[in-house]
Amino acid sequence: MPDERLDGRITKRWQDIGFQGDDPKTDFRGMGMLGLENLLFFATEYRAPAQHVLSHSHHPAYGYCFAIVGINLTSMAWLLLRDGTAKTYVYNTSKTLPTIGVFHQFYSYLFYEFDRFWLESKPLDIMEFSSIKDRFEKNIRVSLQDSSTVFRIGVTVDDV
């Protein structure tokens, strides 16, 4: 929501983009600055897809907390990198030594695709997040077993 100015750091408006309370810093405890950097990268480098995903997060039946989901996906991306599963993506994407930008792109792909997966799952409520996230991660792990895997955000506008 780049065109909307905040009056201060502590405000209820943070909830509009999916933070749990009035102060977003409390939601970053699990992933810290990396979670913030991923959200910022997605919102600035993939502005239209990020706004598309944000609009889906406000869906009346299938909505979710955009920022909280994003921070959880940072954790997933970090785990996939740390355990070696994401090395296929990193090696296939980097023409030189990998940079943090490659990680941010991986995260952005995960966020965009998780949104699609979430909506296709038609969850009854947010309480299904954990099981849907686990199924999504399993699918990503299977995709990353293919040595030619390269993920790209395929932007399509759909009506939900």
Q: Tell me the per-residue pLDDT of 102-113, one tens digit each, with 9 for 90 and over.
A: 999 999 999 999
Residue 18 falls in which region: left (phi positive, over 0), alpha (psi -120 to 50) or beta: left
Q: How far apart (Å, rounded) are the C-alpha atoms in residues 29 and 25?
A: 7
Q: How many CB atoms lie within 10 A of CB 73?
A: 28
Model confidence band, residue 151 (pLDDT cutoffs 50, 70, 90) = confident
pTM: 0.82
Radius of gyration of the chain (CA): 16
What pLDDT shows up at residue 4? Answer: 67
pLDDT over 80 (residue 22): no
Q: Return the axis-axis angle of helices 32-45 and 47-57, rounded to nearest 10°.
A: 110
- Out of 29-33, 99-103, 154-158, which region has the weakest mean confidence (pLDDT)? 154-158
- pLDDT greater at residue 57 or residue 17: 57
